[in-house]
């Protein structure tokens, strides 16, 4: 790729720009924390390279500052526009990818999202996590093992998801807890629970990030998914989702969270199909299997 400054910038101009980069980098020479020095000088080099590469205009710089200011103004203890910005730029997903190194057949991680809540209720094996949230019942089952194939008894599994209307309980007008819970694997590392079949929903798009997506012709929709956080004392905690095979949003997820290994078959069950562990379901339901493999702690 040709950098625009190679086409339009004279040697004298290039020298001025490079001298500035080096001067700013040198301003961190006396920083005593080596990691902070590395982070800041790397940021300066990449930021200046970007400004020089796209030949950023002063008007564009001003617009960017106004955009970031608006991200700050809309952010409060319930709404975090900067995380959303990081998500739609793929920066959250890249940070997760860097920090969850591939290890054997360990299950892949994906974005955490803003809707996890500590202290969700515990359900027994085979219990219902929906808490009355509206949606098609979905039976989820699988195992939790380590990368040597050993069953992990007592692994903690947190699950959370949006209801059929695309709303998480924290977005309801009242304080209800719904479509979130935790449970533990049995002595053979097995788990099973009832949830609701995931459906697509938009990320919050009524703020500056939503405007940016619209201006760029991008959709705010997330592919249908069910969130998992799985932990065991011997293992690296896994934050991930499973996605629904056949969902037309798999290739355009707004936050780049989809990985092929996480796309699962949610098998539709016709009306009248008996459920495995007793509960009576009036209409259709779905079932999915998700076998989870945890990397060792510190992997």
**Interface residues toward ligand BEZ, by CB under 6 A:** 84, 87, 111, 113-115, 203, 222, 255
Tell me the residue number closest to ligand BEZ, measured at CB.
113
Measured from the CB atom, the residue of 1 and 216 that comes closer to ligand BEZ is 216
Measured from the CB atom, the residue of 68 and 170 that comes closer to ligand BEZ is 170
Instruction: Compute φ and ψ for 162, nearest 5 degrees.
Output: -85, 155
Measured from the CB atom, the residue of 111 and 181 that comes closer to ligand BEZ is 111
Q: What is the rounded distance in angstroms from the CA atom of residue 223 to the CA atom of residue 263?
A: 10
Q: Which helix (H) or strand (E) holds 191?
A: strand 190-196
Instruction: Give whole-number Cα distances, 73 to 67, 70, 202, in Å.
Output: 10, 5, 21
* Among 225, 155, 240, 216, CA closest to 190: 155
* Among 116, 220, 200, CA closest to 158: 116
Measured from the CB atom, the residue of 222 and 236 that comes closer to ligand BEZ is 222
Instruction: Compute φ and ψ for 215, nearest 5 degrees.
Output: -60, -30
DSSP 8-state assignment for residue 248: T
Minimum distance from CB of 46 to ligand BEZ (Å)?
Answer: 24
Q: Which residues of the shown chain bind Fe ion in the complex (CB under 5 A)? A: 113
Measured from the CB atom, the residue of 255 and 293 that comes closer to ligand BEZ is 255
Contact partner at residue 203 from Fe ion, ligand BEZ, none, CB < 5 to 8 Å by partner kind: ligand BEZ
Contact partner at residue 210 from Fe ion, ligand BEZ, none, CB < 5 to 8 Å by partner kind: none
Contact partner at residue 258 from ligand BEZ, Fe ion, none, CB < 5 to 8 Å by partner kind: none
* Among 249, 246, 248, CA closest to 264: 246
Contact partner at residue 213 from Fe ion, ligand BEZ, none, CB < 5 to 8 Å by partner kind: none
Minimum distance from CB of 84 to ligand BEZ (Å)?
Answer: 6
């Amino acid at each position: 790729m040709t950098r625009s400054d190679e086409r339009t910038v004279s040697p004298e101009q290039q020298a001025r720009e490079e001298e500035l980069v080096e001067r700013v980098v040198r301003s961190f020479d006396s920083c005593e924390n080596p990691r902070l020095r590395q982070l800041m000088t790397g940021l300066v080099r990449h930021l200046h390279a970007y400004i020089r590469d796209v030949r950023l205009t002063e008007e564009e710089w001003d617009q960017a500052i106004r955009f970031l200011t608006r991200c700050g103004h809309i952010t409060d203890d319930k709404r975090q526009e900067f995380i959303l910005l990081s998500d739609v730029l793929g920066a959250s997903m890249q940070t997760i990818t860097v920090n969850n190194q591939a290890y054997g057949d360990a299950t892949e991680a994906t974005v955490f999202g803003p809707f996890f809540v500590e202290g969700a209720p515990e359900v027994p094996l085979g219990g219902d996590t929906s808490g009355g949230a509206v949606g098609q019942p979905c039976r989820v089952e699988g195992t939790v093992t380590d990368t040597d194939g050993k069953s992990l008894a007592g692994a903690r599994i947190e699950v959370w998801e949006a209801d059929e209307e695309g709303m998480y309980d924290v977005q309801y007008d009242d304080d209800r807890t719904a479509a979130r819970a935790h449970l533990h694997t049995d002595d053979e590392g097995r788990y099973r629970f009832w949830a609701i079949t995931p459906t697509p929903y938009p990320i919050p798009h009524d703020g500056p990030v939503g405007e940016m997506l619209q201006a760029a012709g991008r959709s705010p929709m997330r592919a249908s998914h069910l969130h998992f956080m799985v932990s065991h004392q011997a293992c690296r905690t896994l934050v991930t989702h499973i996605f629904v095979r056949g969902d037309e949003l798999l290739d355009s997820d707004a936050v780049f969270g989809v990985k092929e290994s996480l796309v699962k078959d949610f098998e539709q069950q016709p009306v009248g199909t008996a459920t495995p562990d007793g509960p009576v379901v009036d209409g259709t339901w779905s079932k999915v299997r998700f076998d989870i493999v945890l990397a060792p702690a510190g992997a």
